[in-house]
């Protein structure tokens, strides 16, 4: 690392199967609330159903079951800030499993059952929520945070437009709408017309518009309906001109793109078999298949295009070239960007997939096409990636290099008009270049300043594209860019209810345990920086799945900053900020590096006067929830409070549920002898040790989270509450009709973050005051 960490100028946000994988199968990386609104599989072997009391556990052979013990409600020790709390009774099973000769207890296995079908789990969750609600409602400043978050979100927010035919489609939220409606314009400057309003779909606002794609001519819109935050989707079709919704429904779609054929007669999509009754939010996602749906027909008539029944661990995604001539099928087995490619001509006859690249072994991301020439970003013979072409008409031909590998990592790209936009990442700063199709550089892509740009979708022959641009303290604005003239212009800009100049963003480096220098971004009021004044601080981290934490705005975070709090973001190993080596240094056998990096960040913030000795809180979501749970066990003395949200907390059973099987690429497999000791050593659920004072902990999850099932948080919270960990509270907050984060209504997001930050304020000493006081 040759220089201090600088804000990224452009995030990897181009369309394609690689980015879909990151968004759909990965655990949630960045905060689910970044301005406008924001991851993989082994199957349980020979499980046998065993009924224990009312638990109905799934228990593997080799488990010793000695008794089903019932534990009475445990009163928190008196004399501290968690005094007088009586935690709900959590039945404790005397259940021991043998893992490669190691005896492992799993006393709360029964909490893996679905609260929607198991009365015992439901009653326990309801009791936990009552306890938590009563505690949080009594916290000072809760309403202040809620009111301010609402005010900070009371401005219009646009999504990046997509062009189809002469129509422009985009999302626009007037401010506090629970879900973002979809609008269309006839021509760039035509009046906007409401096309879909998901706010009318459910009284509680929990039905969301998820993925959507207009047909190439703009006649139809295919869109996905997401219920209660689940990863499952139902696809519907709308006639754009009349606004009429067609009758067909496509069910049991998950982790799918919507890829229209070139004639706009139908689209390709990926689905799984319908799960068994009661298993929709728990069962492992295996044997994905690729189908074609023709407009005006029932799903039962959909044509199966591609499947691998002999390899049920493979998933399949479809892309169609912008000219509609070719279908590309990407098949992959996990989170790692390793794909096998098949291609089929779309000439009006049934598609016949032919092998294009055998795998899965390398990363292949199609970024555009010109006739039968397909353009890819690949790490084939290029650790930092390069651009090559493959011939769809002659699949046996090898790749032809267009842009050679550089020292900097090629992060993403797209073909727009007759040129390519390419982004390179080095030292966490990403710059974009415009090149000819033969790789010759034309110019740097002009951007409004330092921050994060995302979007840049487009079509071959049309030079028009759109992108969003945001920073840590500035919400996203939308820009139009012409790749032929290099001109860009503002399309939409939000009104700000604050002055960004009141806040400073500082980048620093700090040494981790092994001496590796780790970047950290620190955001706070300028007056705090000018006075070198310590203040209550939230430290955020993720560290996994090659996800990069780049600049992005969050209204909920701004409410903390306005109160005089500090917010710090550590770019831990395991992320993608510095290329493949940075990711490798924080995965598998190297996962402890991530925890060491985060602990060192906390020590750095205290040693350098950013926060006080007892003013540091930590926050992480999903894989970041695992991070928080692990470091709390390893260094409970370092933190005053912790927010592990929708976290992966049981590292010995994560692969048995929903998308968990994909994550073995980053974590390793609990079913492998060589991986088990590593996972067991840091698993949050298994490493809670009594006799030490723990920070105040608020565990958050949601009842229909089918990405990281809520059982992780349930078991972890029950284990925390049963242990002797001092007098600070250890609470569980379970949202209803909500999932992993995507599709969550605005009012539920405000409630969650206001609850969470009021809890952190209580234990870090941040005084919450109305604005102007």
What are the E-state strand segments in 599-684? 616-621, 641-645
294 touches 235 (CB < 8 A): no
Which helix (H) or strand (E) segment holds residue 137: the answer is helix 119-137
The separation between the first and the last C-alpha atoms of the chain, rounded to the nearest angstrom, is: 44
**Interior CA angle at 231 toward 665 and 15, to 5°?**
70
Q: Of 284, 512, 622, 713, which is the active-site residue?
A: 622
Count how many Cα atoms sit within 13 Å of the Cα of residue 551 in the half-sphere of its side chain: 28
Quick count: other Cβ atoms within 10 Å of Cβ 273?
11
What is the rounded CA–CA span in Å between residue 410 and residue 430? Answer: 9
Pair of tokens at residue 152: 């900070």
Is 533 exposed, middle or buried, given 0-12, 13-18 or 19+ CB atoms closer than 10 A?
middle
Q: If 0-12 CB within 10 Å is exposed, 13-18 middle and 19+ buried, where does residue 201 land? A: middle
How many other C-beta atoms lie within 10 A of the C-beta of residue 206? Answer: 25
Return d(Cα 282, Cα 264) in angstroms, integer: 35
Task: Tell me the C-alpha distance between 361 and 28, whole Å.
Answer: 25
- Beta-bridge partners for 56: none
Which letter does DSSP use for residue 767 in this model?
P
Task: DSSP for 95-107, please give it.
Answer: EEEEETTEEEE-T
| Cβ-Cβ contacts under 8 Å for 301 (sequence gap 6 or more) | 294
386-391 β-sheet, strand order = 364-370, 373-378, 386-391, 400-403
Residue 471 in 3-state DSSP? strand
Q: Which residue has the tokens 């030292």?
A: 427
The rounded distance, in Å, linking the Cα atoms of 331 and 346 is: 19
Contact 178, 738 (CB under 8 A): no
Taking the CA atoms of the chain, what radius of gyration do you get in angstroms?
25
Active site residue 155: no
Q: Is the dihedral of CA 405, 406, 408, 411 positive or negative?
A: negative
Task: Give the count of beta carbons closer than 10 Å to the beta carbon of residue 336.
Answer: 20
**Number of neighbouring beta carbons within 10 Å of residue 217:** 15
Asked if residue 85 lies in contact with residue 78, where contact means CB atoms within 8 angstroms, the answer is: no
740 is a catalytic site residue: yes
Question: How many Cα atoms sit within 13 Å of 127 on the Cβ side?
Answer: 17
Three-state secondary structure call for residue 279: coil
Whether a cis peptide bond, with omega within 30° of 0, leads into 360 is yes
Q: Which tokens in the block code for residue 527?
A: 């007056």
What tokens does 91 get? 């039945």
H/E/C letters for each residue in 412-448?
EEEEEECEEEEEEEECCEEEEEEEECCCCEEEECCCC
Q: Helix, strand, or coil here: 406?
A: coil
Angle at 489 between CA 448 and CA 558, to 5 degrees: 45
**Helix, strand, coil shares, percent, the chain, to 5:** 20, 35, 45
Q: What is the Cα–Cα distance from 647 to 628, expressed in whole angstroms?
A: 8
- 21 phi and psi angles, rounded to 5 deg: -55, -45
- Residue among 427, 22, 462 nearest 216 (CA): 462
CB distance 353 to 344 below 8 Å: yes
Q: Which residues are tagged catalytic?
A: 622, 740
């Amino acid at each position: 690392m040759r220089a201090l960490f600088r804000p990224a100028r452009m995030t990897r946000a181009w369309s394609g199967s690689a980015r879909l994988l990151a968004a759909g199968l990965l655990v949630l990386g960045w905060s689910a609330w970044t301005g406008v609104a924001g991851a993989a599989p082994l199957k349980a072997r020979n499980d046998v159903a065993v009924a224990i009391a009312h638990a109905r556990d799934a228990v593997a052979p080799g488990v010793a079951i000695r008794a089903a013990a019932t534990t009475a409600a445990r009163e928190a020790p008196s004399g501290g800030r968690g005094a007088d709390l009586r935690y709900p009774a959590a039945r404790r099973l005397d259940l021991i499993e043998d893992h490669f000769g190691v005896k492992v207890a799993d006393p709360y296995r029964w909490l893996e059952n679905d609260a929607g079908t198991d009365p015992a789990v439901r009653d326990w969750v309801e009791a936990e929520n009552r306890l938590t609600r009563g505690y949080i409602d009594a916290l000072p400043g809760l309403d202040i945070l809620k009111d301010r978050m609402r005010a900070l979100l009371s401005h219009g927010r646009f999504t990046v437009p997509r062009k189809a035919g002469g129509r422009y489609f985009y999302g626009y939220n007037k401010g506090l709408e629970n879900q973002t409606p979809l609008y269309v314009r006839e021509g760039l400057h035509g009046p906007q017309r409401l096309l879909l309003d998901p706010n009318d779909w459910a009284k509680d606002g929990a039905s969301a518009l998820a993925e959507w794609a207009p047909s190439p001519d703009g006649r139809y819109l295919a869109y996905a309906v997401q219920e209660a935050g689940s990863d499952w989707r139902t696809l519907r079709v709308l006639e754009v001109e009349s606004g009429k919704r067609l009758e067909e429904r496509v069910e049991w779609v998950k982790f799918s793109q919507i890829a229209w054929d070139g004639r706009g007669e139908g689209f390709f999509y990926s689905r799984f078999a319908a799960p068994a009754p009661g298993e929709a939010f728990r069962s492992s996602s295996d044997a994905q298949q690729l189908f074609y749906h023709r407009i005006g027909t029932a799903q039962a008539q959909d044509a199966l295009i591609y499947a691998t029944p002999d390899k049920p661990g493979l998933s399949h995604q479809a892309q169609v070239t912008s000219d509609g001539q070719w279908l590309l099928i990407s098949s992959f087995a996990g989170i790692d960007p390793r794909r096998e490619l098949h291609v089929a001509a779309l000439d009006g006859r049934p598609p016949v997939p032919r092998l294009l690249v055998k795998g899965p072994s390398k990363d292949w991301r199609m970024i555009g096409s010109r006739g039968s020439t397909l353009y890819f970003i690949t790490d084939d013979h290029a650790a930092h990636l390069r651009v090559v072409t493959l011939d769809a008409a002659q699949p046996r031909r090898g790749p032809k290099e267009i842009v050679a590998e550089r020292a900097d990592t090629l992060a993403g790209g797209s073909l727009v008009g007759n040129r390519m936009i390419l982004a390179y990442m080095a030292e966490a700063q990403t710059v974009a270049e415009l090149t000819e199709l033969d790789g010759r550089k034309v110019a740097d892509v002009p951007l409004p300043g330092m921050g994060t740009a995302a979007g840049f979708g487009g079509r071959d022959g049309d030079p028009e594209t759109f992108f969003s641009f945001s920073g840590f303290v500035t919400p996203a604005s939308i820009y139009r860019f012409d790749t032929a003239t290099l001109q860009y212009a503002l399309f939409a800009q939000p009104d700000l209810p604050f002055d960004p100049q009141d806040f400073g963003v500082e980048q620093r480096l700090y040494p981790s345990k092994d001496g590796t220098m780790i970047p950290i971004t620190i955001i706070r009021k300028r007056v705090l920086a000018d006075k070198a004044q310590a203040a209550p601080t939230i430290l955020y981290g993720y560290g996994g799945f090659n996800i990069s934490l780049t600049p992005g705005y969050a209204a909920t975070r701004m409410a903390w900053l306005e109160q005089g709090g500090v917010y710090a973001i550590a770019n831990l190993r395991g992320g993608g900020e510095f290329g493949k080596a940075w990711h490798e240094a924080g995965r598998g056998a190297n996962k402890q590096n991530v925890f060491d990096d985060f602990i060192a960040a906390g020590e750095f913030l205290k040693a350098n006067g950013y926060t006080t000795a007892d003013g540091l809180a930590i926050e992480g979501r999903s894989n970041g929830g695992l991070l928080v749970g692990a470091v709390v066990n390893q260094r409970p003395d370092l933190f005053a409070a912790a927010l592990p949200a929708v976290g992966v907390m049981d590292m010995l059973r994560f692969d048995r549920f929903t998308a968990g099987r994909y994550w073995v690429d980053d974590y390793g497999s609990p079913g492998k002898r060589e991986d088990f000791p590593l996972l067991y050593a840091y698993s949050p659920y298994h490493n809670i040790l009594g006799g030490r004072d723990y920070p105040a902990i608020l565990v958050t999850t949601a009842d229909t989270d089918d990405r990281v099932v809520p059982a992780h948080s349930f078991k972890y919270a029950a284990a925390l509450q049963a242990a002797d960990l001092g007098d600070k509270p250890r609470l569980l907050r379970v949202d209803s009709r909500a999932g992993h984060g995507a599709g969550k209504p605005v009012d539920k997001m405000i409630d969650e973050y206001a609850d969470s930050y009021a809890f952190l304020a209580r234990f870090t000493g941040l005084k919450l005051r109305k604005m102007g006081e």
